[in-house]
């Protein structure tokens, strides 16, 4: 006998977790498609040199790698960005630009598992490649807004910044060479506070207090509900630097375009303090936080980059993209009671307790399915109590009960399994409409006020 | 510069392939759920001993295997059945029985790639575990029927057999010990013909000609449209053996139950010649063939097994399941022109050629999306010709064109990109209904008669 177990850092998804997870992915796909993003997929395994080409030492160490039977050094992808770069280098000639894709797929990292982090997890990315147009930036904000709303969130904030503004300020201050270290220090602002960030800047980047203060004054410039006011104040703070000015104007275009695209201005927060550690962002960057759960961090982040696939092709491919944090979002939905209370894939169970009527139960189930209602017929003609116990444990919303008397009378009992109430509903094989309507009302009613 | 390439036996999915593929998977999920099957997922990597525990030598050799950083011997799953067995052994106590799951996920086999076969491919399985009820068998047939119809097929045949019938006959003939080799020979009937199968049986199983003939008489017993007639003839052919008789009656129940569940009797073919090589099937087995493409083989196959997880638990877990051949089905749909001609995720492109009206284009796009219509706004205010060329190349169905005159008049031009016709449609931001209706009609019209 072999012990059944999963590897450390890996997990099984049982239906109660997988059902909302799958719904979330379907919702995301629908939103991506509605903006013209198309799905792609790439192999799990890539030549190792492709994966290690761009990565930092840390991600390199985390790659699951081995030699295949053909003695090739291969690795399992650790994100969807490197495969996209390789994919774009190979196929962009066929696909043309702009190329808009989404990709929802698992990635693997052999890191030490921590609470809520696994060695296998799903990434959910969308990108527009091959254009520097501000329209692609605006669209990214609109996609995030639509995603969050489609998933069921109302109270969220999309924070937007443009890297060019800080780049311009550093240029004005003569600190362009130290931009990476300053950016890393600034990224810690929310965590360690203003003074410690200033200390770090002075120490690591060897800049004086006044320059550190100038950088932090930029970060201090908060919108407080009036994004246009911040945009108006920024030129002075950045000393009139041209790069910064262009970045500010672009940010204004993105803000206004997003509002024209239907994004509520109260959901947008121009926040010049966000930096996002990754070095490859060069333009607009964004983060998305939940107003009721700010502590969990950003659930959808991304930004604009200058050149996606420089390692694989000479073709210059600027782009913009973002990644939806699927697991984080699901955890938040659970905490905020936003997950539909659906343990079961189908809402209705047909009880089966008269063997002679089996074909009648089957026919009834078929009719409900044709009307779009998911139905399971209980598998054995056991006692009703056992069947209802199963229905409860499995999380069905309703049960349909019919014995010989009901069949002869042309009716069935429809039992609401949440509140245990039951009603008789007319039903014959040639007249299913009243039952379809009654189930529809029951499902509607309970799903809007689930018993948690 | 690193050469961008994929590993031998692996492939990228470009949008033109991925769009129908993703739709097919969504359709399958919808059908599974409508019968109460719930999704699960399991890790890509498993302890190697779990994967090699049940496999044949051949699959063992094909497993992608390596040592992870913790010096554990691990492998990538080569099917979804072994992980299901491991999963069931671990979780069935929590989940209860019957447990109905579907699982759509990639698997990996390091076999030598042939035409149309890859080292990474998606399996699409559904199983009901923990019940011997005939209802589960009936349901499996109904699921296959619904799947095939939902995908768009009308002319298909679900062939059904019950292993018990042959088991009973072999018992009657005193050949029970040779059942595996006889089964393997029988499996080749369609390929090599009656005489060669008889030869193989006599040679490999050392049986005499009369017994080989008795086995083949069973296989000869074809339905030719009258399934009940075959069921009536079988008891005599199987010499009145009790196991066979029970198997025949069960097959009759499945046939009648499937018809009660809405499966057209003309789509069911009781075929006692199908054997399916896999040794672990013990009851009903089925295959699904396309009437217009019989040569591609079965697109959905499966059957009943006695005990799923004997390697991992003492708990007896009988079950029934089947696997949809996603890639084979997609290839068939392409051959039969059943694939929707959708290269693009969204059907409508909004042309963008007046920069001052950018926010108007964005607002229009947002309104159409809210009405459920996928829209992409072209990314740059280029010449109209360039935009329409892009729209054609990308496979959009329609383009919306509006310049300053149109905006002032409260109308836009709606261009059907298939037949190049164009109409003017009233549109204002506060009156989008006529445009929504016109696009709806255009999409409906063209999708029912795609220009191939």
Dump pLDDT digits (tens) for B90-103.
999 999 999 999 99
Q: What does the alpha-carbon distance between residue B446 and residue B425 come to, in Å, rounded to a whole number?
A: 18
Q: What is the mean pLDDT of residues A202-218?
A: 89
Whether A38 sits inside 8 A of B15 (CB atoms) is yes
For chain B, give the number of residues.
452
How many residue pairs from chains A and B have C-beta atoms closer than 8 A? 290
CB distance A65 to A44 below 8 Å: no
The domain A15-335 having CATH identifier 3.30.930.10: the answer here is yes
Closest partner residue to A33 (CB to CB) among B133, B346, B360 is: B346
pLDDT band at B223 (very low <50, low <70, confident <90, very high): low
Q: What does the alpha-carbon distance between residue B100 and residue B334 come to, in Å, rounded to a whole number?
A: 31
Q: What does the alpha-carbon distance between residue A332 and residue A324 come to, in Å, rounded to a whole number?
A: 13
Q: What does the alpha-carbon distance between residue B412 and residue B424 come to, in Å, rounded to a whole number?
A: 6
Closest partner residue to A50 (CB to CB) among B2, B11, B131 is: B2
3-state secondary structure of B408: helix
pLDDT number for residue A221: 82
**CA A2 from centroid of its chain's CA atoms:** 37
Nearest CA in chain A to B372: A34
| pLDDT tens for each residue of B300-354 | 999 999 999 999 999 999 999 999 999 899 999 989 988 876 677 899 999 998 9
| pLDDT tens for each residue of B164-201 | 999 999 999 999 888 888 888 888 888 899 999 999 99
Whether A47 sits inside 8 A of B15 (CB atoms) is no
Q: Which of A22, A43, A92, A146 should one mutate to test binding to chain B, selecting the residue with the greatest count of B CBs within 10 A?
A: A43
Q: Is A144 an interface residue toward B (CB < 8 Å)?
A: no
Residues 6+ apart with CB under 8 A from B72: A7, B47
Place of tokens 């009759």: B252
pLDDT band at A179 (very low <50, low <70, confident <90, very high): confident
Q: What is the mean pLDDT of residues B256-279?
A: 89
Query: Is it the case that residue B451 has pLDDT exceeding 50?
Result: no
Nearest CA in chain B to A375: B35
Chain B residues in contact with A42 by the CB 8 A cut-off are: 6, 12-13
Q: Is B37 an interface residue toward A (CB < 8 Å)?
A: yes
* CA A170 to each of CA A215, A304, B36: distance values in angstroms, whole numbers, following the listed order: 8, 19, 60
Please return the burial class of B368, using the count of CB atoms within 10 Å of its CB with bins 0-12, 13-18 and 19+: buried
Q: Is B84 an interface residue toward A (CB < 8 Å)?
A: no
Closest partner residue to A66 (CB to CB) among B66, B142, B370 is: B66
Percentage above 90 pLDDT, chain B: 78
Whether B29 sits inside 8 A of A12 (CB atoms) is no
| pLDDT tens for each residue of A2-39 | 999 999 999 999 999 999 999 999 999 999 999 999 99
How many angstroms separate the CA of residue B176 from the nearest CA in chain A? 27
Most confident listed range (A172-181, A198-207, A436-445, B413-422): B413-422
Query: Is it the case that residue A278 has pLDDT exceeding 70?
Result: no
> What tokens does B406 get?
């149109």
Chain B residues in contact with A46 by the CB 8 A cut-off are: 6-7
Concatenate the DSSP letters of all residues of B414-429 into one string. EEETTT--EEEEE-BT
User: Binding residue per annotation — A80?
Assistant: yes
User: Binding residue per annotation — A281?
Assistant: yes
| pLDDT tens for each residue of A291-303 | 999 989 999 999 9
pLDDT band at B268 (very low <50, low <70, confident <90, very high): very high
pLDDT band at A445 (very low <50, low <70, confident <90, very high): low
User: Binding residue per annotation — A128?
Assistant: no
Concatenate the DSSP letters of all residues of A107-142 into one string. EE--PPP-TT--SEEEEEEEEEES---HHHHHHHHH
Q: Which of A25, A45, A349, A378 should one mutate to test binding to chain B, selecting the residue with the greatest count of B CBs within 10 A?
A: A45
Residue ranges covered by each domain of chain B: 1-129+307-340, 351-448
* Residue B53, Ramachandran bin (φ over 0: left; ψ between -120 and 50: alpha; else beta): alpha
Q: Which CATH architecture has domain A348-448?
A: 3-Layer(aba) Sandwich (3.40)
The domain B351-448 having CATH identifier 3.40.50.800: the answer here is yes
- In chain A the first and final C-alpha atoms are separated, in Å, by 40
**CA A229 from centroid of its chain's CA atoms:** 31
Place of tokens 């209980």: A378
Q: Is A216 an interface residue toward B (CB < 8 Å)?
A: no
| pLDDT tens for each residue of A374-385 | 999 999 999 999
Min mean pLDDT across A124-133, A175-184, A296-305, B364-373 is at A175-184
Whether A12 sits inside 8 A of B36 (CB atoms) is no
User: Binding residue per annotation — A81?
Assistant: yes
The domain B1-129+307-340 having CATH identifier 2.60.120.380: the answer here is no
Of the two residues A344 and B129, the one the predictor is more confident about is B129
| pLDDT tens for each residue of B28-70 | 999 999 999 999 999 999 999 999 976 667 778 899 999 998 9
Place of tokens 């947008």: A268
pLDDT number for residue B273: 83
Q: What is the mean pLDDT of residues A436-446?
A: 86
Of the two residues B398 and A205, the one the predictor is more confident about is B398
| CA atoms lying within 13 Å on the CB side of residue A391 | 29
CB distance A438 to A398 below 8 Å: no
Query: Is it the case that residue A318 has pLDDT exceeding 70?
Result: yes
Q: Which of B82, B260, B304, B361 should one mutate to test binding to chain A, selecting the residue with the greatest count of A CBs within 10 A?
A: B260
Nearest CA among B84, B265, B296 for reference residue A12: B84
Q: What does the alpha-carbon distance between residue B317 and residue A70 come to, in Å, rounded to a whole number?
A: 39
Q: What does the alpha-carbon distance between residue B397 and residue B340 come to, in Å, rounded to a whole number?
A: 12
Where b means 16+ CB within 10 Å and e means fewer, A210-233 reads ebbebbbebbebebeeebeebbee
Q: What does the alpha-carbon distance between residue A370 and residue A360 come to, in Å, rounded to a whole number?
A: 15
| pLDDT tens for each residue of B80-133 | 999 999 999 999 999 999 999 999 999 999 987 777 789 999 999 999 999 999
Whether B133 sits inside 8 A of A260 (CB atoms) is no
3-state secondary structure of A91: helix
Q: Is A375 an interface residue toward B (CB < 8 Å)?
A: yes
Whether A4 sits inside 8 A of B146 (CB atoms) is no
pLDDT number for residue B54: 62
Neighbour count for residue A239 (Cβ, 10 Å)? 14
Whether A64 sits inside 8 A of B87 (CB atoms) is no
Query: Is it the case that residue B219 has pLDDT exceeding 60?
Result: yes
Q: Is A386 an interface residue toward B (CB < 8 Å)?
A: no
> What tokens does B177 get?
């010990």
3-state secondary structure of B260: helix
pLDDT number for residue B444: 81
Closest partner residue to B43 (CB to CB) among A7, A41, A74 is: A7
Q: What is the mean pLDDT of residues A397-407?
A: 95
Q: Is A2 an interface residue toward B (CB < 8 Å)?
A: yes
Q: What does the alpha-carbon distance between residue A418 and residue A425 come to, in Å, rounded to a whole number?
A: 18
pLDDT number for residue B342: 65
Torsion sign over Cα A188, A194, A198, A199: negative
Name residues 338-357 of chain A within 8 A of B (Cβ). 344-346, 349, 352
Q: Is A64 an interface residue toward B (CB < 8 Å)?
A: yes
pLDDT number for residue A274: 85
User: Binding residue per annotation — B387?
Assistant: no
Neighbour count for residue B210 (Cβ, 10 Å)? 8
pLDDT band at B446 (very low <50, low <70, confident <90, very high): very low
| pLDDT tens for each residue of A60-73 | 889 999 999 899 99
Q: What does the alpha-carbon distance between residue A163 and residue A183 come to, in Å, rounded to a whole number?
A: 10
pLDDT band at B449 (very low <50, low <70, confident <90, very high): very low
Neighbour count for residue B327 (Cβ, 10 Å)? 17
Whether A40 sits inside 8 A of B377 (CB atoms) is no
pLDDT band at A446 (very low <50, low <70, confident <90, very high): very low
Q: Is B413 an interface residue toward A (CB < 8 Å)?
A: no
The mean pLDDT value of chain B amounts to 91
pLDDT number for residue A443: 87
Whether B314 sits inside 8 A of A369 (CB atoms) is no
> Could you report the predicted ipTM of this complex, rounded to two decimals?
0.93
Name residues 255-294 of chain A within 8 A of B (Cβ). 256-257, 260-262
Nearest CA in chain B to A88: B4
Cis status of the peptide bond prior to A98, with omega within 30 of 0: yes
pLDDT number for residue A451: 32
| pLDDT tens for each residue of A219-248 | 888 767 789 999 999 999 999 999 999 999
The mean pLDDT value of chain A amounts to 91
Q: Is B41 an interface residue toward A (CB < 8 Å)?
A: yes
């Amino acid at each position: 006998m072999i012990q059944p177990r999963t590897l450390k850092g890996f997990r099984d998804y049982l239906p109660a977790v997988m059902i909302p997870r799958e719904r979330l992915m379907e919702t995301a796909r629908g939103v991506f498609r509605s903006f013209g993003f198309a799905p792609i997929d790439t192999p799990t395994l890539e030549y190792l040199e492709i994966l290690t080409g761009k990565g930092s030492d840390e991600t390199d160490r985390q790659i699951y790698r081995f030699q295949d039977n053909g003695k090739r050094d291969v690795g399992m992808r650790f994100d969807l960005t490197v495969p996209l770069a390789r994919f774009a280098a190979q196929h962009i000639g066929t696909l043309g630009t702009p190329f808009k894709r989404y990709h929802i797929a698992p990635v693997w990292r052999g890191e030490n598992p921590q609470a809520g982090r696994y060695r296998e997890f799903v990434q959910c990315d969308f990108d527009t490649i091959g254009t520097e147009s501000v329209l692609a930036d605006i669209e990214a904000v609109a996609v995030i807004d639509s995603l969050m709303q489609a998933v069921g969130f109302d109270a969220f904030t999309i924070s937007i910044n443009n890297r060019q503004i800080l780049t311009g300020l550093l240029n004005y201050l003569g600190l362009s060479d130290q931009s990476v270290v300053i950016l890393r220090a600034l990224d810690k602002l929310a965590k360690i506070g203003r003074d410690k960030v200033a200390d770090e800047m002075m120490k690591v980047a060897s800049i004086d207090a006044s320059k550190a203060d100038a950088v932090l004054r930029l970060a201090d410039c908060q919108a407080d509900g009036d994004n246009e006011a911040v945009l108006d104040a920024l030129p002075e703070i950045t000393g009139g630097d041209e790069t910064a000015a262009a970045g500010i104007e672009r940010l204004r275009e993105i803000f206004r375009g997003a509002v024209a695209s239907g994004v509520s201005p109260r959901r947008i927060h121009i926040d010049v303090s966000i930096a996002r550690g990754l070095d490859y962002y060069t333009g607009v960057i964004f983060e998305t936080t939940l107003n009721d759960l700010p502590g969990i961090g950003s659930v959808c982040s991304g930004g604009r980059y200058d050149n996606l696939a420089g390692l694989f092709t000479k073709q210059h491919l600027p782009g913009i993209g973002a990644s939806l944090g699927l697991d984080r979002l699901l955890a938040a939905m659970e905490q905020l009671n936003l997950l539909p209370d659906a343990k079961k894939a189908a809402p209705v169970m047909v009880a089966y307790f008269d063997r002679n009527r089996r074909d009648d139960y089957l026919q009834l189930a078929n009719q409900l399915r044709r009307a779009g209602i998911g139905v399971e017929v209980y598998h054995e003609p056991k006692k009703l109590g056992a069947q209802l116990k199963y229905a409860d444990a499995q999380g069905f919303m309703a049960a349909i009960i019919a014995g010989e008397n009901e069949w002869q009378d042309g009716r069935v009992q429809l039992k609401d399994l949440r509140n245990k109430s039951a009603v008789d509903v007319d039903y014959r094989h040639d007249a299913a409409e009243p039952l379809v309507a009654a189930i529809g009302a029951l499902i509607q009613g309970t799903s809007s006020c689930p018993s948690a």
